[in-house]
Structure 1
Amino acid sequence: MLPQTNRSVRTVRRSRIAAACFIGCLASQSAIAQDSESSLRRSIAWQVALETVGFTPGLIDGNPGRKTKIATWEFQRVKGLPKTGELDKATAEALKVDPDGSLILYTVESADLKEIEPVPHSWVAKSKKNLLGYSDLEEALAEKCHCTRGLLQRLNPNKKLSNLKPGDKYIGPAIANSARLPQAAQLEVNLNDKIIRVIDRDKQLAGLFHCSIAASKAKLPSGNAKVEFIATDPEYTFDPKMWPEVTEKITSKLTIPPGPRNPVGRCWIQLTLPGVGMHGSPNPEMIGKTGSHGCFRLTNWDALRLAKMVGAGTPVKFVDTPSEAAQRNP
């Protein structure tokens, strides 16, 4: 079962305002520029729609690539549509892709500034902080909009986003909160695809999340496990034995404070495997590109969403055979 969404009247109005402002800005541009921006809005709408139904495209960047196409292919399979991985008419209708409502006008809030706390490079210095926060406001706003910093800059070309103040406006992807999320009967972690699939009680695919896996094949799990517990905004125990690449002289374990740039991000889903879990990330733009130390790393918002779909005892199965979706979208 796919999750249902509920976007408030206020959000819809903001969407219309933003769309109108965005289109208005294009009026004085060339026809080529307008075609380019129209394509951008369509691409953003495609990625937003996939995230809304729980088939995440990775970060929203307005440039649909492999992650977006795999998510689309799987959505098409579940819906009984032709499996192309592309946004054809039938898929766009099933996803309710809305280019005119893909962007909204946000207002910077005081809360957006509360977690701006640049992270020091030293692990010892990190352990002495109360919070590991965002480097600047632009980074905080990009995470709020589930998008890349590059996309946010493109949507706001005449703004220095890091210098905005409470009450200032900016344009971003129209992220919708899911009103109801399906519960997982099982998680399937495909080590080859670098994807966590949520299987519901009817044995149907109900969600899909891209992840990073262990860089070392020796640390990749196999067989089965279960979810043991879930912790949000967790502290992190830095063990120098687990970080051989760190050159800083540290002889004992350190407690690293919580925050969006904590090594495990906003959420930790402990599995019944020693030291192994599914968790958020301090570097969302690197998901799927770099290896972890043995865990499964997601964006913070995907980790938090996944945490709402599982509970203690949820079975987890590890597979390493490439899925058809991945093979069709290399």
Structure 2
Amino acid sequence: MPATPTVEEIEAAQFTGAPLADGQSALTVRVQVLLDRAGISPGIIDGYKGAMSESAIRAYEHREGLIVDGLLDEEVWIGLGGSMATGITMTYVITHEDTQITPDLPDDYARKAQLDWLGFEHVAEGIAERFHMDEDFLRDLNPDATFTQGEAITVVDPGPSLEEEVARIEISERRLRAYDGQGGVVASYPVAVGSRTLPSPSGLHRVDAVAVEPNYTYRPDVNFQQDDNTEPLILPPGPNGPVGLVWIDLSKPTYGIHGTASPAKLYEEASHGCVRMTNWDARELAHMVDTGIEVEFVE
């Protein structure tokens, strides 16, 4: 199995005309970070060429009016400022807040409902989400780290959160596109949507409410049944709750746009009909939308 790219390799990686390598590579890390900085989320930054990275390149090409093929080429590389970009990685010192975790979360919803907060189970998990990284990649990048308060570790720098005003949302091809009032794409995010048995909505809807760090009302008679839990429950908020750190309520009853406890599985699993995002993407979007804006599901 190839070794995890080093900081030096990531900072030095350049496009030479060849496609992104299969598996994990320093160049893919660099491209994922630059896409994220450009408002085109690759989902988790892990250095792997995969479906989410390809969809992000396609989204960038579409926004910039380039040939849409999902492949890294000279136009994409130059547009992202690939050769000139610096500080793809940086040093981060672990804080006391980072160490406030909720270890050994139960799977059972009834037991979760007895807690006050569904937090991160590991320090590395929370730091990985802060910097849009896959937890395993973070650990591999810091093989000797103990992830304790005061320790300096290496992370990627995805740049600051966007601060735009979103006027309309469109969801298609497992991407959520956020448009400004002039029709320009200000952000694009990978999403999980429903399956054939539990499909997402279709057509036009609107945002009815936006909640950050929401609790979750479990209603097995309306949505789905988890294990043997047949009665309604209220689960506390937290990044490892069923809807993660955000709930954007849609005008179609019981449906919304929300976060996830498992960002690495975003493209592996269908949702129960809602639109599922990484927690960091959902939080960014939540601060750019307002009630009443249009949400269109395009088939």
With normalisation by structure 1, the TM-score equals: 0.78
Cα distance change, pair 171–218 in 1 and its aligned pair in 2 (3 A) = closer
Hey, what does 1:238 align to over in structure 2?
Answer: 218
Please say if 1:78 is aligned against 2:63. yes
Q: CA deviation at 1:223?
A: 1.4
Please say if 1:152 is aligned against 2:138. yes
Secondary structure at the counterpart of residue 117 of structure 2:
coil
> After superposition, what is the alpha-carbon deviation per residue over 1:243-262, rounded to whole angstroms, capped at 9, x for unaligned?
655232x3421110011111
Unaligned runs of 5+ in 2: 10-20
| 1:79-158 aligned within 5 A | 79-97=64-82, 100-158=86-144
Range that drifts further, 286-295 or 82-91? 82-91
Count of residue pairs brought into register by the alignment: 282
Cα distance change, pair 46–202 in 1 and its aligned pair in 2 (3 A) = same
Q: CA deviation at 1:218?
A: 5.0
Please say if 1:40 is aligned against 2:20. no
Quote the Cα distance in structure 2 between the aligned partners of 1:170 and 1:109. Answer: 11
Please say if 1:182 is aligned against 2:182. no
| 1:188-267 aligned within 5 A | 188-190=170-172, 193-217=173-197, 219-242=199-222, 244-248=224-228, 250-267=229-246
Contact kept, 8 Å, 1:116 with 1:137, in 2: the verdict is: no
> After superposition, what is the alpha-carbon deviation per residue over 1:187-214, rounded to whole angstroms, capped at 9, x for unaligned?
1111xx1211112222232221111112
Higher helix proportion = 1
Which amino acid is 1:137 matched to?
Answer: V
Secondary structure at the counterpart of residue 25 of structure 2:
helix
> After superposition, what is the alpha-carbon deviation per residue over 1:155-196, rounded to whole angstroms, capped at 9, x for unaligned?
11233xxx4211111111112113x53322211111xx1211
Secondary structure at the counterpart of residue 240 of structure 1:
coil
Cα distance change, pair 188–141 in 1 and its aligned pair in 2 (3 A) = same
Quote the Cα distance in structure 1 between the aligned partners of 2:231 and 2:136. Answer: 39
Which amino acid is 1:112 matched to?
Answer: D
With normalisation by structure 2, the TM-score equals: 0.86
Q: Bigger radius of gyration, 1 or 2? A: 1
Contact kept, 8 Å, 1:67 with 1:210, in 2: the verdict is: yes
Quote the Cα distance in structure 2 between the aligned partners of 1:315 and 1:140. Answer: 32
Contact kept, 8 Å, 2:51 with 2:267, in 1: the verdict is: no
Hey, what does 1:6 align to over in structure 2?
Answer: none
Which amino acid is 2:293 matched to?
Answer: T
> After superposition, what is the alpha-carbon deviation per residue over 1:273-312, rounded to whole angstroms, capped at 9, x for unaligned?
1010000011111112212222111000010111122110
Q: Percent identity?
A: 29
Cα distance change, pair 302–125 in 1 and its aligned pair in 2 (3 A) = same
Cα distance change, pair 240–78 in 1 and its aligned pair in 2 (3 A) = closer
> After superposition, what is the alpha-carbon deviation per residue over 1:211-243, rounded to whole angstroms, capped at 9, x for unaligned?
111234454211110001100000101122256
Please say if 1:302 is aligned against 2:281. yes
Secondary structure at the counterpart of residue 241 of structure 1:
coil
